[in-house]
Amino acid sequence: MEATEVRKLAALEDTHWWYRERRALLGRALRRLAASGVRPEQALDIGAAGGGNTRVLRAHGWRPLALEYGAEGAGVARERGLDVIRADARHLPVPSAGLGLVVAFDILEHFDEDHLAAAEIRRTLRPGGTALIAVPCDMRLWSAHDVAVGHVRRYDRAGLRAVVEKAGLVVDEVWSWNVLLRPVAAWRRRRSTGSDLDALHPVVNLGLRTIVTAERYLPVRSLPGVSLMLRAHRPTDG
């Protein structure tokens, strides 16, 4: 992602409806892990950018390390008081089998060799450790926005599952997110000429946030959305 896009993301992520709800998704996933008996330990947030997800991890008791490829993103994370390292997700400078959790939200789609990044996630997780992954879905939604933010592809469920399973992880769940607003996203992307990471009028932002929040209470996770979420784990038997 270009430096200007990283700065734009950092400025927007605290208030923008999309980033707020994505952090809420992460928070709910962490609460489910806690309810299943998983105790917070060392975690890695790949592609941390402004550090919003890293701060969620820290708030839930995890010991997160933020990882960013670009100098601009790493600088933003440091400005926000986060522990951060610069590295390529395909070559993580992290010991093998030492992490309880790896978060990789909107990362795999940036690589031709997405299987290498998935394999690194598997390598760095301890046996039984969890991976939480998010990607943009459906090539029918491909637009100038994807080009502007450096996407190589958008995924379908089978494709995402195949990449993760090829890496040696066991997929626990795959679900759609941003389902209710998919028609709006499709309409806007057809007319876009660049990234849609823009500040919104507060009333519009609140309206979109209200709609996407409603998904928490509706049976829409199996329907087509704008993003896919996946939870997986490294098996304990080698």
Q: Identify the pLDDT of residue 197.
A: 66
What residue ranges in the chain does DSSP mark as E strands? Answer: 42-46, 63-68, 84-86, 99-105, 125-136, 170-177, 227-233
pTM: predicted TM-score of the whole model, two decimal places:
0.92
Reported confidence tier of residue 81, pLDDT bands at 50, 70, 90: confident
- Kindly report the average pLDDT of the chain as a whole number: 91
Pick the range with the lowest mean pLDDT from 128-137, 188-197, 222-231. 188-197
Per-residue pLDDT tens digits for 2-61 = 556 666 677 778 888 999 999 999 999 999 999 999 999 999 999 988 789 999 999 999
Q: Tell me the domain boundaries of the chain.
A: 3-233
Reported confidence tier of residue 88, pLDDT bands at 50, 70, 90: very high
Helices 114-124 and 157-166, axial angle in degrees (round to 10): 50
Q: Identify the pLDDT of residue 3.
A: 55
Match domain 3-233 to its CATH number in 3.30.70.260, 3.30.1540.20, 3.40.50.150, 3.30.465.10.
Answer: 3.40.50.150
Q: Identify the pLDDT of residue 191.
A: 76
